[in-house]
Amino acid sequence: MKDQADKLRTMARDIKTRIESELFKGTKRTRVVTVTSGKGGVGKTNFAVNLAISLSDLGQKVMLLDADLGLANVDVVLGLVPRYNLYHVIKQEVPLKDIIVPGPGGIQIIPGGSGIFQLANLKDYEMRDIISQLEKLEGQSDYLIIDTGAGIAENVLSFAVMADDIIVLTTPEPTSLTDAYGVIKSAAAMQARGKFHLVVNRVFSESQGAVVGQKLKSVCERFLGVEIDIIGFVSEDRAVRSAVMNQEALVIYAPTSDASKNIRQIASRFCEKSEVVTKQPIGIKKFFRSITSIWKQKLQSEH
Ligand SMILES: Nc1ncnc2c1ncn2[C@@H]1O[C@H](COP(=O)(O)OP(=O)(O)O)[C@@H](O)[C@H]1O
Ligand SMILES: [Mg+2]
């Protein structure tokens, strides 16, 4: 059975590669996936890290950008101490390629630090320099996964608005659900170009996950006209906390735990959905150009 599934998957991937190379001759672009939520502390960082590793295990090349300016993020969860971050690149102290640190499971991590939003303040020639450095990363990875802060601040939302895929995380708590709805509403109002996926984290049973997910999905479809793809749920699992305490990624620290299995399943579903090539992904270069221009417009409208 497994052999058969593997064979089919390989075939699908070959076809995908062929179609892509026909459609987008020589210009492979990275698919940008933003992980976000309405409320903080719902499990975004843990999910983003473990999704990245699981996709990498499936043979995908993955970069993970830590774009949350708050504390306790990707580096802390993984026990890494990156020397430099995007702030240093913007200050022209180090080239972009030197801030990227290897993470577990073959993923690459781009530490954001406090630099990201300063992209909006750069002069055009400074921005061109950064963009040309980003351009070199284009196509080197299949996915760029972005771990963002929570909430509906326009700056943070722009990561979701420009992404190919927007993964919204919620827990079954009513406050988390209401805030998730708020984020989807705001992103949709800003003309989000990507597809919305929903993950219900910390569920006590599969049926709880299904009920909660379905509820949010129907409300979004009915009141916002936004289509939501329920990509899965992740169990409430003590292994998550233990992994965090040990500063190791869950899927490596406790690979057989329920939450690990759930995240791996989401990764493989996500991969299969990405096989269906509908349009060329936005790519790293255009993504950063677009979010920077949103921030610039906002700055200008404030003055
Ligand atoms: N599936 C889960 N089961 C149990 N605890 C979880 C789960 N997901 C997250 N947590 C807990 O929530 C905490 C916050 O998660 P984190 O990924 O840092 O959230 P966020 O990035 O959204 O602020 C984790 O340190 C962990 O203790
Ligand atoms: Mg976080």
Q: What is the pLDDT of residues 276-285, one digit of tens each?
A: 666 789 999 9
Residue among 8, 51, 30 at smallest CA distance from 259: 51
Q: What is the pTM for the complete model shown?
A: 0.90
Q: How confident is the model at residue 273 (pLDDT cuts 50, 70, 90)?
A: confident
Q: What is the pLDDT of residues 192-204, one digit of tens each?
A: 999 999 999 999 9
Contact 240 CB / ligand 1 (< 6 Å)? yes
pLDDT score, position 95: 94
Contact 89 CB / ligand 1 (< 6 Å)? no
Q: Is residue 36 a contact partner of residue 156, using CB atoms and an 8 Å limit?
A: yes
210: Cβ contacts below 8 Å, ≥ 6 apart = 230, 233
Residues with CB under 5 A from ligand 2 (ion): 44-45, 68
At 228, list the tokens: 């939501």
Give the H/E segment covering residue 244: helix 238-245
Contact 43 CB / ligand 1 (< 6 Å)? yes
- Testing ligand 1's pocket by substitution, the residue of 47, 240, 266 carrying the most ligand atoms inside 8 A of its CB is 240
Maximum distance among all Cα pairs of the chain, rounded to whole angstroms: 62
Task: Delimit the domains of the chain by residue range.
Answer: 31-302
Given the CA of residue 77, which atom of ligand 1 is nearest to it? 18
At 155, list the tokens: 């700056």
Ligand 2 centroid – CA 73 distance (Å)? 5
Q: What is the pLDDT of residues 40-60, one digit of tens each?
A: 999 999 999 999 999 999 999
Topology, domain 31-302? Rossmann fold (3.40.50)
- Between 258 and 91, whose confidence is greater? 258
Contact 244 CB / ligand 1 (< 6 Å)? yes
- Between 207 and 151, whose confidence is greater? 207
